[in-house]
Amino acid sequence: MNRNTLIGLLLMGAIIMLFMYLNQPSPEELAARRQQAELAAQQASEPASEQVLTIDSVSPSERAAIIRTVKQNGTLNSSASAYTLAAPGVELEVSADSAATLTGTVTVGDTRVAVNNILTASYPDSVPVKVASEAVTMLRNAIEESARYQGFARFRNGTPEIVATLSNDVLALEFSNLGGVIANARLLDPRYTRYDSTGQVCPIAMGDDMYGFQIASADINYDTRQLYFEAVQESDSTVLMQVTPGDGAMLGIRYTLPRGNSYTVRMDLVQSNINTIIPTTVSGMQFKWTQRMARNEEGRVFESQNSAVYYMLANGDVDNLSEMSSDSEKIDEPLTWVAFKNQFFSTLLVPQQGFNRAQLQSTVLPDTTVNSLKDMEMTANMDYSSTLANPASMTFYIGPNYYPLLSDLSTEILPEKNLKLTNLIPLGWSLFRWINTWVVIPLFDFLGGFITNYGIVILLLTIFIKIILFPFTYKSYMSQAKMRVLAPEIKEINEKYPGKENAMRRQQETMALYSRAGANPMSGCLPMLLQLPILIAMFRFFPSAIELRGQAFLWAHDLSAPDYVISLPFAIPFIGNKLSLFCLLMTVVNIVYTRINLQNQPGGSQMPAMKWMMYLMPVMFLCFFNNYAAGLSYYYLLSLLITIIQTYIFRKVVNEEKVRATMKANAAKPRKKSGFMARLEEAQRKQQAMLREQQKQRGRK
């Protein structure tokens, strides 16, 4: 550091110290500061009612603005003597005469403050200073919001109540003034009652459902869910829920319920002169729909696992959110419809022009929410214009997931398009769905048209299916019989060529034996594989068949729900503390069938590990089917019993000595090798040659 730098730093420090000395507070100023600090501390320690606060007053210009806003956006009473305007916590009234007297109250908590006290800034001792200050703020906010919403402001405050009803032979609707929505939709068919006998099924219920249109301009968001509508009963099948913000403007939601047995409700967004309030530059709106899905069935777990948000894209693909867990999906392409689907009932919404895109969400509720299953949400974008008389039209379907009904619904809603609404019924993938659609459902409905007891219907359906499968079952048994006849000779081959080094030779001799005898070890598996699609199709059909809902048979009071007859004082893992009797019987019969089937298998007694696994399978089925529909367990029980009966009949009819003689006769005939056998023998020959070459190489080393 040089000499000049040091001198500069010393001069700067001297200047700073001199400045601080000249600007230090005097003793009088220090005393005043201490007094202010002590006063502030004393006020902070005093009760709130004793503190001295400054209350903002209402200026004369603000008073004039309040009167003007109430007259413009308020409602003229029946005697035309005053305008009234209500907002949350604020009730104002202005006389219609030239004096324009302003009265009313502002409620803060439990304290009501008169508007005159606010205007004059004079409050009684019963009104704390803090409450008075909040009352002024609430009044200003209410007037500001009313000015922004213009004539809609008078419809933003009210008491939710049922103001209109519509009904036909199958559906009863109740409409709420809040949001102008369907508050309750009750199914009138006496078969459609809740599991706890508390009444009819209500796919839409007050407090659980809300939907509405949201139209946003640059500075305000008009949401029909926040408005209180007035009901106009236009006819016995049509009701109009409307708001009239003034100057001839009207915004409404018109509902039309067809007479007869229709589960569809037409919903039209209608408007007139609304462009005086909503700018014509607004070109889009959102439709928001939320539902807390109610529980309707006794088997809560199974019902929840069969409930989800379904949707159809404009390209015709039908998809759904996860049924097993909470899920969400953002769809950036047009949708044709969206449905909140329950196990047996659905609330479906089909817009006339489709949704542009949507955000869907489903949240699984905990088991402690006894009477509800899931929270479902949809936010969809739609086109909008404030100059159109009917900017949006939609159709609600509120009804059962009944296949014939859903298959005919497309022509009723959108005749020019296939809505694929039967996809709401989970009948399985393509092959299984085809079996259910073209075989099982028509036969089931045909039998149900003549027989009222669905336990008998399932019995006849099972017999019919077993008749169709009889050739495959017989072929499978004959294959097992041939393998039993060949078992001694196969044992001789195994004893003649023991050890791993003779594995290839054993296989060759065994395949040669099969070829000579005309037996195929795979021929018993093929019939089983051909039966599998029908078994899976039935597995998908019974839990989805609403025809079984509420149908009693023997001890089961509802074939669509588990037939719990045994309650345990403890819970079994994967099963619970309740046992289904049909499922228990199916398990016992399945164990018996497993034993019979093992007896039919050649060498079954020599495979203890396989036997253990075969006996374990029925127990696993018990864990799996215990919470399923009783009708499904009943079907599998009948199917197993018929199969056991068929097996014993086959044993009586099929003479294994004749089978042996036939196989010997086949062995004596010259047989042309099949392509498969020729390729198999060629592969074995090459493998054996390769092994011999490897052995030679080892010998040379």
pLDDT in tens, 321-349: 998 889 999 999 999 999 999 989 999 99
**Confidence category of residue 51, pLDDT binned at 50, 70, 90:** very low
Q: What is the pLDDT of residue 64?
A: 84
Q: What is the pLDDT of residue 43?
A: 45
Token pair 């829920």 in the structure block, residue: 241
How much is the average pLDDT of 163-175?
A: 94
229-237: Cβ within 8 A, 24+ apart = 229/155, 229/163, 229/177, 229/178, 229/179, 229/180, 229/253, 230/163, 230/177, 231/163, 231/164, 231/175, 231/177, 233/164, 236/166, 237/166, 237/168
Domains of the chain, by residue range, sit at 60-155, 211-227+248-422, 454-663
- What is the percent of the chain with per-residue pLDDT over 90, rounded to a whole number? 24
Whether 161 shows a pLDDT value over 90: the answer reads yes
How much is the average pLDDT of 515-542?
A: 70
* Cα gap 178→231, rounded to integer Å: 11
Q: What is the pLDDT of residue 304?
A: 87
How much is the average pLDDT of 380-403?
A: 92
Whether 183 shows a pLDDT value over 90: the answer reads yes
Lowest mean pLDDT across 154-163, 419-428, 498-507, 601-610: 601-610
Hey, what amino acid is at 414? L
Closest CA to 294 of 222, 219, 204: 204
Q: What is the pLDDT of residue 207?
A: 87
**Confidence category of residue 410, pLDDT binned at 50, 70, 90:** confident
Residue 343 main-chain phi, psi, to 5 deg: -55, -45
The helix/strand/coil state of 103 is strand
Lowest mean pLDDT across 286-295, 631-640, 679-688: 679-688
* Cα gap 547→403, rounded to integer Å: 10
Q: What is the pLDDT of residue 290?
A: 94
C-alpha dist (Å) from residue 314 to 318, 332, 338, 355, 676: 9, 11, 11, 9, 48
Lowest mean pLDDT across 114-123, 140-149, 345-354: 140-149
Other C-beta atoms lying within 10 Å of the C-beta of residue 54: 7
Per residue in 252-287, pLDDT (tens digit) is 999 999 998 999 999 999 999 888 888 888 888 999
**Confidence category of residue 69, pLDDT binned at 50, 70, 90:** confident
Find residue 292's DSSP bridge partners: 375
Structure tokens, 364? 């699984």
* Cα gap 497→512, rounded to integer Å: 14
DSSP state of 153: G
DSSP state of 554: T
DSSP state of 498: -
Find residue 251's DSSP bridge partners: 243, 271
Residue 530 CB-density burial (10 A; 0-12 exposed, 13-18 middle, 19+ buried): middle
Lowest mean pLDDT across 117-121, 181-185, 350-354, 607-611: 607-611
Q: CB-based contacts of 251: which residues, under 8 Å, 6+ apart?
A: 224, 242, 243, 245, 269, 270, 271, 274
Q: What is the pLDDT of residue 491?
A: 66
How much is the average pLDDT of 351-361?
A: 92
CB 272 within 8 Å of CB 259 = no
The helix/strand/coil state of 99 is coil
**Confidence category of residue 48, pLDDT binned at 50, 70, 90:** very low
**Confidence category of residue 4, pLDDT binned at 50, 70, 90:** low
Other C-beta atoms lying within 10 Å of the C-beta of residue 558: 20
- What is the percent of the chain with per-residue pLDDT over 70, rounded to a whole number? 76
- What DSSP element (H or E) covers 623? helix 608-625
Lowest mean pLDDT across 220-234, 251-265, 470-484, 581-595: 470-484
End-to-end CA distance of the chain: 89
Q: Report CA 513 to chain centroid distance, whole Å.
A: 58
Per residue in 641-678, pLDDT (tens digit) is 988 888 888 777 766 666 666 666 655 555 555 555 56
| Sign of CA pseudo-dihedral 465, 469, 470, 473 | negative
Whether 173 shows a pLDDT value over 90: the answer reads yes
Residue 199 CB-density burial (10 A; 0-12 exposed, 13-18 middle, 19+ buried): exposed
CB 594 within 8 Å of CB 643 = no
**Confidence category of residue 551, pLDDT binned at 50, 70, 90:** confident
